Structure 1
Amino acid sequence: MAANGYQLCCDLDHWIRRRIRMAYWRQWRKPRTKIRQLMRLGVEIRTAVGCGRSSKGPWRSAKTPGINQVLSLAYLKSQGLYSMRDGWIKLHHS
């Protein structure tokens, strides 16, 4: 049962991160803003333009390598995101 709970926790944590990436993507709205924000956060020009001009929807775009590189777990943690996986490990293995 504990392993099942851990896996559910990891899956939910993954889903939440993707949902937050999608929210950033929607917040940036226009392709020019998306490209500018991706470049400001460290993506190379070619990748930023490819992501920013994509016709994919926000949910699908949130899974692309360029967006995952910029809005990584480390970046999201620096912005205050709590990792459920880390909480699970701390609770069960402390």
Structure 2
Amino acid sequence: MIDQLLAQVENKDAESILGESGLALLKKRLAERMLAAELTHHLAAEAKEGRSRNHRNGTSPKTVITPNGELELDIPRDRQATFEPQLV
């Protein structure tokens, strides 16, 4: 995973990797992965309760304010709009 992130950084110098653009990409990917896991758990819980007709329905962009500035995230959605992420 680290190699994939490094491949997306334009310059391979320390500033590009450890600076805001490199670390921001890592934060973005980590947060979006956590949100996807939250939605998976939410949908599994609904299926366990017998309400299995709900499914993933794409993402919506959202700007999140972090201690290091703003971060653009793609927040996953479900078809019935019952998913409320705890991370953001």
Normalising by the smaller structure, the TM-score range is 0.3 to 0.5
Taking CA–CA contacts closer than 8 Å with sequence separation of 6 or more, which of the two structures ends up with the larger relative contact order?
1
Identify the structure with the greater helix proportion.
Answer: 1
Larger Rg: 2
Question: Normalization by structure 2: what TM-score?
Answer: 0.39
Identify the structure with the greater strand proportion.
Answer: 2
Question: Normalization by structure 1: what TM-score?
Answer: 0.37
